[in-house]
Amino acid sequence: MHRIILGLFLLASFSSLMAQSSNPKLRIRHLSGDFYIYTTYNTYENEQVPAHGMYVVTGKGVMLFDTPWDTTQFQPLLDSIQVRHGKTVTMCIATHWHGDRTAGLDYYRQRGISTYTTELTDALSKKNKQKRAEFLIKNDTTFHIGPYQFETYYPGEGHTADNIVVWFPKEKILYAGCLVKGVDARNLGYLGDANVKEYATTLKKVQQQYKSPKVIILSHSDWHNINSLKHSIQLAEALRNRNHEKHH
C-alpha cells in the first residue's frame, strides 16, 4: 500500500512538472540574427493570453522592447538573457501605457536599465497610475545602438491614444505591439482606450511608412503571417463603418 501511495505521489509530481514545462511562464524564441521574441502570459476574460515582447542583443548590451505582462517574470527575463547571452539589459522602451507593456518599467529602472516612453505615454501612465519611464521621447526618434539602427514612430491614435511602433530599416523588422492584430483575429481586441474612428487611418499610416516589412511582431497574436497589418486595416474599417451606421 505504501508503495502504491508513493507511486501515485511520484506520478502526480511528474505530471505537475510536465504541466509546468508545457506551460512555462516565460518563453524565449529566436527570431533572426540577434533578435529574440519573449512571451509571458496573463488572464484576460477568463483566458490565458500571451504577451509578446522583443529584445535585441548587441555588443553594448541588450535592448528590450516592452516589459513582461506577468509581474513575476521581470527578473526571470533578465536572468534568462544573462544565462543565454552573457549580457545584461541596458535599455527598455515601452510602446504604450497599458500594463502589459509598462508594468516592469519601475523595476528595470531600479536595476540601472535606461527606460523610455514617449511624453504622451508618460502623461497617460501618470493619469492611469501605471509605471513610468526615466527618459522621455519627445518626437519620432532614431536610435543607434551598437551596429543597429531603429526608429520609433507615432502614427496616430488606434489601440490607445499613444501607441507607437518600432522599425529596424536594415532588417525590415516592424515591431507593432498591440496596434496590429494577427490574421486569425476576429476583432481588434480590447477597445476600452481605443479611437475607433481613427484606428484604420492610423494603421494605413504605418502601412505607408513601412511598405515592405519582412516580419511584423505583434503583442498578442502569432507573427508569422505578414498579412497581419492588412487584416487589421480591414477589421478597423469594418469597425468604423459599423460604428458610423450605429450613430446615423
- From 37-41, 123-127, 152-156, 241-245, the region with the lowest mean pLDDT: 241-245
pTM confidence score? 0.89
pLDDT at 248: 54
Q: Is the pLDDT of residue 5 over 90?
A: no
Q: Is the pLDDT of residue 186 over 50?
A: yes
Q: Is the pLDDT of residue 15 over 70?
A: no
Q: Is the pLDDT of residue 70 over 80?
A: yes
Strands of the sheet with 165-168, listed across from one edge: 142-145, 148-153, 165-168, 173-177, 215-218
Q: Is the pLDDT of residue 56 over 80?
A: yes
pLDDT at 245: 67
Cα separation of the two ends of the chain: 74
Kindly state the cell numbers that stand for 111. Answer: 536595476
CA 1 from chain centre, in angstroms, equals: 51
All structural domains of the chain, each given as residue ranges with its CATH number in brackets, are 27-178+213-225 (3.60.15.10)
Q: Is the pLDDT of residue 14 over 70?
A: no
Question: pLDDT for 190-223, tens place per residue?
Answer: 999 999 999 999 999 999 999 999 999 999 999 9
Per the prediction, the chain carries an average pLDDT of: 91
pLDDT at 45: 79
pLDDT at 23: 56
pLDDT at 108: 98
pLDDT at 113: 98
Q: Is the pLDDT of residue 247 over 80?
A: no
pLDDT at 243: 78
- From 8-12, 30-34, 73-77, 190-194, the region with the lowest mean pLDDT: 8-12
Average pLDDT over residues 19-45: 85
Average pLDDT over residues 33-53: 93
Q: In this structure, are strands 89-93 and 114-118 parallel, antiparallel, or unpaired?
A: parallel
- Give 242's pLDDT tier (boundaries 50, 70, 90): confident
Q: Is the pLDDT of residue 158 over 90?
A: yes
DSSP codes, 152-197: EE---SSSSSS--EEEETTTTEEEEETSS--TT-SS----TT--TT
Q: Is the pLDDT of residue 22 over 90?
A: no
Q: How far apart are CA 8 and CA 60, in angstroms?
A: 51
Answer yes or no: are the C-beta atoms of 107 and 92 closer than 8 Å.
no
